[in-house]
Structure 1
């Protein structure tokens, strides 16, 4: 009886996970956050960014800022006059489309001192439950000269309030499954 219940739960979990994209939350710079003295290209080098993932930028409000720019502005560390600048201290950005994303600090000379990040966003992984995890080398590497972006930025950090929080359903199902397996 307990075994059949456990198998049922396992089947349910497999069904849910196989139809669900496995989005990831990336805290830019990990525990260091968005600040001077961090090599963000090294930080991003072993990560694969996909549509549906989120980037969270943590920094000291009023003492730093975040600006999404195009490739040429990234290269020159220029903040366009029309670019919205966020200085709230925390920005969560939902990656909604594929392609390159360029982020710089708009504060003083922080960008010229290396506080900038370029990533390539890949399509959502299909059937994430059964597919092997891609190696970081499988993602396109940023070139030394970023190409200019054709359209204006669409993943603005100031729209972060509308980013949905992650569901605890996966964690709860995992706990239920493990509890039942131990009871068997």
Structure 2
């Protein structure tokens, strides 16, 4: 485990490959006031410290950091390993570990920085935004194109990205998800203003 600059924590395999993360910690009192909090990492133990003593807080205090183990593709993991499934219109779309040409590894290598930029100010990480894009493109697409060439289809969806704490819309973005028509394996997903 490694503590990030934003206060969250990245989880790693022995190989050094990231396998998940914990979002930055947060805590609020019964009136909704933010209570100071932080993580401490000691070997394989992660502790959230809520600094409530000596403060003028209304109890109970809620602290519920979210985790994401979506990045479960290690260096030796088979390209066919399932990362997640997205039920939707037309069937269930599957994100596999893949390689540089499709799946999680393709998205990581080619689109991570785009998702990181979109996650800024939301309290989410890049995987959360990519996951949300695939969830809603599969479940409730704005547009579907069954044949975009090469045996692939496309579903796109406009999403409103909100701040986790304030619920205010930080930005809106349209995403396109491309998949193989015969297997519904996800090839890629990325921000695309025009959609499919």
> TM-score, normalised on structure 2?
0.22
- Flag the structure with higher helix content: 1
The structure, 1 or 2, with the larger RCO (C-alpha pairs under 8 Å, 6+ apart) is 1
Structure number with larger C-alpha Rg: 1
The alignment's TM-score, normalised by the length of structure 1, stands at 0.23
Normalized per residue, the structure richer in strand is: 2
